[in-house]
Amino acid sequence: MRRGAVILLLVVASCAPALAQKAFPPITASDRIIVVAPHPDDEILGAGGLIQQACAVGAEVHVIYLTSGDHNQIAFKLYKLRLHFSPRQYIAFGEVRHREAAAATALFGLTRDQLNFLGYPDYGTMQIWRDHWGETPAFRSDATHTNAVPYPDAFGFGQSYRPENVVADFVKLFQRIRPTKVFVTHPADTNPDHRAAANFVRLAVLELAAEQTPPQLYYYLVHFGRWPAPYHYHPEDELEPPAQLLDDGNWLTLPLTPEQAQKKYEAILQNHTQMTTRQYFLVSFARADEIFATIDVLPVPTVPADAVINWRKAVHSKVIGLTPEEPSTRTSTEHALFDELAAMELEETAYLRQGEDLIAQITLRNRLGKRANVHLLLYGYKRGSDFAKLPKLHINITPLGGVHVFDDRKRVKEEGVKVISIENHLIVRVPLRLLGDEVPDLLFTATRANLGEVAADDTAWHLFSLSNDSGNEHTIAR
């Protein structure tokens, strides 16, 4: 990363030395475990060995499926050798994936009553999280043409596709099961549903913290560029976290026996609808171990009003690293588009608090181009307040330095929001009063970069603390 040669700014990349993975703590008979799968098969890919070991020691195990995986159109078309499907047929495929999940987890000893299908829309839950709070109409799936859970056997049958309902379903199941450990996809996973799952679970755990002991949260990874390498079935190989994520969480390894890796491989193959397009990728998760991360809720540092801003002390939200396709497969037009996208890639967003303002420094590879715009998303969480009713700020920064602020898609006054562009850095100052009548305790935040209407890059959603209360970190395992 380049340093900005500007007075009052010292821009330094957030780097930490790679550390050896520690051993995952033993599962005991007293554990109550929930594995949250954004789609049927994710529970096997990320935690199939863990489920086996938990069942072997007598722990209570449950799986919660956020979606029914009913939007994987290419896989369905190859599976049935048909080009067109009706909305009802996509729902039928969701039901097929329910049965595949039951067959796969049955190899580990789980029964149907240990599986909870929420039934929310595949390839829609991140948009639900991002854009459908409050009075915004419910999300509508372009595959099933529904705006409510269509599966009669789903826990959330009939629930509209709204984020409040997703959180409420997780809260109800957590209250019923009272888990000691919850496993969910990593917030830096490049699949949008996987990132949404992490956000909904973190919010549900926060909502429960006042009434029951919060579970330890562990994160598993499925999608991240060309990880895990090599592809195909290599049960003797161990998984390693992607290099870009070595310092984004505390990584733990869970060794599997050859028998457990083989049974995990067999369970993966039970997902027949997915074997048509990605078998080489899916079976690569049957390895000699599984890896999980814990992520601390870091405080946003406060600096005095008259202080020189030192970004070395800030908390950082790194970009999600995508691996592009091979250049040889692109047309000349695609080359031009990819070059333009690459030129405006995000590097990171750093956060500090100064007085009653939140300051974000968004660093791009180059300056904003004439068609580029950046979105800073800020969702505050306040204990005792209804999260759905709190502001969900979307700050849109245009190439000419214009600023547009939205809350639940409604334009709000930009008074107090200031943006300074310095070389390849955008410094955004946001009054905390825009996030609610009181300063939030916590902050869900992400940054997106668009080229026109095309998404060019984004960071993972991070959860930061705006309070000096050390209790903010109690929901995250260490």
Beta strand 392-397 with 403-407 is antiparallel
According to DSSP, the residues that pair with 374 across neighbouring strands are 397, 449
Give the residue carrying structure tokens 């903010």: 472
Question: How high is the pLDDT of residue 372?
Answer: 74
Q: Is the peptide bond before 40 cis (omega within 30 degrees of 0)?
A: no
Of the candidates 288, 289, 304, the residue with the CA atom closest to the CA atom of residue 254:
289
Q: CB-based contacts of 212: which residues, under 8 Å, 6+ apart?
A: 174, 175, 178
Q: Are 466 and 439 in contact (CB under 8 A)?
A: yes
Question: How high is the pLDDT of residue 185?
Answer: 98
Q: Are 283 and 277 in contact (CB under 8 A)?
A: no
Provide the CA 266 distance to its chain's centre, in angstroms.
Answer: 27
Q: Are 123 and 94 in contact (CB under 8 A)?
A: no
User: In this structure, is the dihedral angle defined by the CA atoms of residues 85, 87, 88 and 92, taken in order, positive or negative?
Assistant: positive
Provide the CA 419 distance to its chain's centre, in angstroms.
Answer: 27
Q: What is the DSSP string of 88-112?
A: HHHHHHHHHHHHHHHHHHHTTT--G
Question: How high is the pLDDT of residue 370?
Answer: 55
Amino acid identity of residue 181, one-letter, is K
pLDDT tens, residue order, the chain (478 aa): 333 322 223 233 333 344 568 999 999 999 999 999 999 999 999 999 999 999 999 999 999 999 999 987 676 666 665 667 789 998 999 999 999 999 999 999 999 999 999 999 999 999 999 999 998 999 999 999 999 999 999 998 999 999 999 999 999 999 999 999 999 999 999 999 999 999 999 999 999 988 889 999 999 999 999 999 999 999 999 999 999 999 888 999 999 999 999 999 999 999 999 998 889 999 999 999 999 999 999 999 998 887 777 666 666 676 554 433 333 344 444 444 344 444 457 888 999 999 899 999 998 876 665 557 899 999 999 999 999 999 999 999 987 778 999 998 889 887 799 998 888 889 999 999 999 999 999 999 999 988 766 776 788 999 999 986 543 332 333 2
Beta strand 32-37 with 181-185 is parallel
Alpha helices in 142-217 (DSSP H): 163-177, 192-208
Q: Three-state SS across 394-439?
A: EEEECCCCCEEEEECCEEECCCCCEEEEECCEEEEEEEHHHHCCCC
Question: How high is the pLDDT of residue 414?
Answer: 75
Q: Is the peptide bond before 230 cis (omega within 30 degrees of 0)?
A: yes
How is residue 235 written in tokens? 């049960």
User: In this structure, is the dihedral angle defined by the CA atoms of residues 8, 12, 14 and 20, taken in order, positive or negative?
Assistant: negative
